[in-house]
Structure 1
Amino acid sequence: MERTDARTDRSEEEPGAEPRPAPAQPPRRRISLWVKIPAVLLALAAVLLLGTRLFLIPGLSTLFGTETKDRTGPAVLKSLQDMSSYEAAVGNFQVVVDLEKDAAFLPDAIRGTRTLYVGAGTVGGSVALGGLGKDDVTVDKDRTTATLRLPHATLGRPALDPDRSYAVSKQRGLLDRLGDFFSDNPNDERAVQQLAAKRIGEAAKDSGLTARAEKNTTSMLQGLLHSLGFKNVTVTYK
C-alpha cells in the first residue's frame, strides 16, 4: 500500500502531466437595490425603537437623560390696545380631536398619521361700550331715569390652555417617523390645535354664551347707575 501511494505522488509531479483544473467557485450574488433600501429603513427603525425602549430600563434614564436649560430672553412689548368692551361671560370648553391622514396607495404602517388630542380652552362673550352715540344713551331732566341701547354681545377668539391640552396618542408610519427624525420641527401639533380651536368656537356659538353676556352686562350697568342715584334703568340691545 505504501509503494502504490509513492508512485501516485511521483506521477503527479512529472513535468509532462497535465495540471488538474481548479474547482469552480460559485458565482457571487448581487443584492438588488430594492432589497437594500427596505433593509436600511428597517435597521433605522430598529435603532429608533431600541433607543426609546432603553429609557424604560431603570437607571438608564438618568444616565442618558437630558438636562433642561432655559435661555429664553425677556418678553418684548410689541403694541398696546385700549379695550372698550366689557367681557361679561367666559365659557370653558373641551374637545377630543381625532385627526387621521392617510396616503392614497400606501398602508398606514408605511405612510400615515393619526393623532388623538384633548384640547381645552376658553371663549369670552363681550359687549362693546366704546362706540355708543348720543341717541344710544338718554337721561331725563331729573336724572332718575336712564335708557341705554347697546350692540349685541359678540364672541372672542378661542384660546387654548396649554396646561390642560395634551396629546393622548400619536400613530405614525415608518416614513413619517423618518421624516420627523430629519425634520426641524418634529411632532408638529399645529393641525390638531387649530382644529381643536375651531371646534371650540363652533361649540361656543351654540352654548348661549352671548345671551349670558348680555344678561350680565345689563345687571352690571343697572347696578352701576343705581349706585349713582338713578331709579329706573333700562338696557336694550339693538
Structure 2
Amino acid sequence: MTTPIRRPRRVPGWAKAVAAVALVLVVLFAGLRLSVIPGLKGLFGSETHDRSGPALLESVQDLSRYEAASGNFQVVVDLEKDTRFLPDAVRGSRTLYVGAGTVDAYVDLGKVGRDDVTVDEDRTSATLRLPHAALGAPALDPERSYAVSKQRGLLDRLGDLFSDNPNGEQAVQKLAVRHIAEAAKESGLTERAESNTKEMLQNLLRSLGFKEVRVTFPE
C-alpha cells in the first residue's frame, strides 16, 4: 500500500506579515527592557570612535581686508513642499527652521594705490581714499541653528530609509543663508564698517605724528 506524500502547507501572506510585526515588537521591547535594567545598559551601550585622519593644509592666502564690523542675524525659515494631486499625509514636507549666523563687513586695503594716498611735505597732513566696504559671505552657526519641527508624508518617510542623508536640512539652510544675506544688505553694516575703518586709520596716523588726517570714500 502506497503512503500518500503530504505537501507542506503554505503559510498565508497575512500570517507572515503578523509574524514580522511581532518580531519587530519583540526586538523593541527587549531593547526597552535592557535599557531599564541596571547594569545592562552600559554592557550593551554603543561607543563612538573618531578615526579621522589629520587635517592637511592645502593652501595659504594673504588677506588685506580690514574686518571693520560684524552683524549677528537670526531668521525663521518655514519651508513647505507639496505634490499635486496627493495629500500632505502621503507626499509632502514642511520644516520650521531657526537659522542664526554672522556677516562681516570689510574694507579691502589691498586696493589702495599710491594715487589714493596724499601726504604734505611736512608730513603733518594726510589724505586717504579708500574703496567702499563690502559684505562677506554669511556664516551659519550650527550651534545656534536648529529645526523646530519637521512634518513629512508617508512616502517621504519611506524615502529617508533608503537615503544616504535622511532628514537632510540643506534646503532650509541655504534658504536661511540667503535671507541672512538679504538682511545684511539692508542693515547698514557697510556704512558702519566704513566709519570704523575711518576712525581706525585716523587714530593710527595721528599716533605717528600726523595732525590732520582725512579719509574719504569715492562717490
Percent identity (aligned): 69
Displacement of 1:168 after TM fit?
1.0
Q: Choose from 91, 94, 102 the match for 2:74.
A: 94
1:173 aligned to 153, 167, 173, which one? 153
2:94, 2:49 → 1: CA distance? 31
Q: Following TM superposition, by how much is the alpha carbon of 1:111 offset from its aligned partner in structure 2, in angstroms?
A: 0.6
Any unmatched runs of 5+ in structure 1? 1-29
Could you say which residue in structure 1 is the equivalent of 2:60?
80
CA contact (8 A) 2:72 2:101 kept: yes
1:106/1:66 Cα in 2 relative to 1: closer, same or farther (>3 Å)?
farther
1:218 to 198, 214, 217: 198
Q: State the Cα distance separating 1:70 from its structure 2 match.
A: 1.7
* 2:8 alignment counterpart: none
- Structure 2: how far apart are the matches of 1:162 and 1:72? 20
Give the deviation of 1:69 after TM superposition: 2.0
* Cα displacement (A) at 1:79: 1.4
Name the CA distance, whole Å, in 2 between partners of 1:65 and 1:171. Answer: 30
Structure 2 matches for 1:112-191, cutoff 5 A? 112-191=92-171
Greater radius of gyration (CA)? 1
Instruction: Give 1:87 shift.
Output: 0.6
Residue type of the alignment partner of 2:140: L
What do residues 61-108 of structure 1 show as CA deviations (whole Å, max 9, x unaligned)?
Answer: 947754322222211212111111101000000011111111111111
For residues 182 and 132 of structure 1, what CA distance do their matches in structure 2 show?
Answer: 54
Query: Separation in 2 of the partners of 1:186 and 1:77?
Result: 31
Moved more, 164-173 or 59-68: 59-68
Deviation string for 1:24-78 (max 9, x for gaps)? xxxxxx99xxxx9xxx8xx99xx69x96xx77x9628947754322222211212
Among 51, 59, 63, the alignment partner of 1:71 is: 51
TM-score (norm 2): 0.81
Is the alpha carbon distance of 1:93 and 1:62 closer, same or farther for their aligned partners in structure 2, counting shifts above 3 Å? Answer: farther
- Determine helix, strand or coil for the equivalent of 2:111: coil
Q: Which runs of 5+ in 2 are unaligned?
A: 1-11
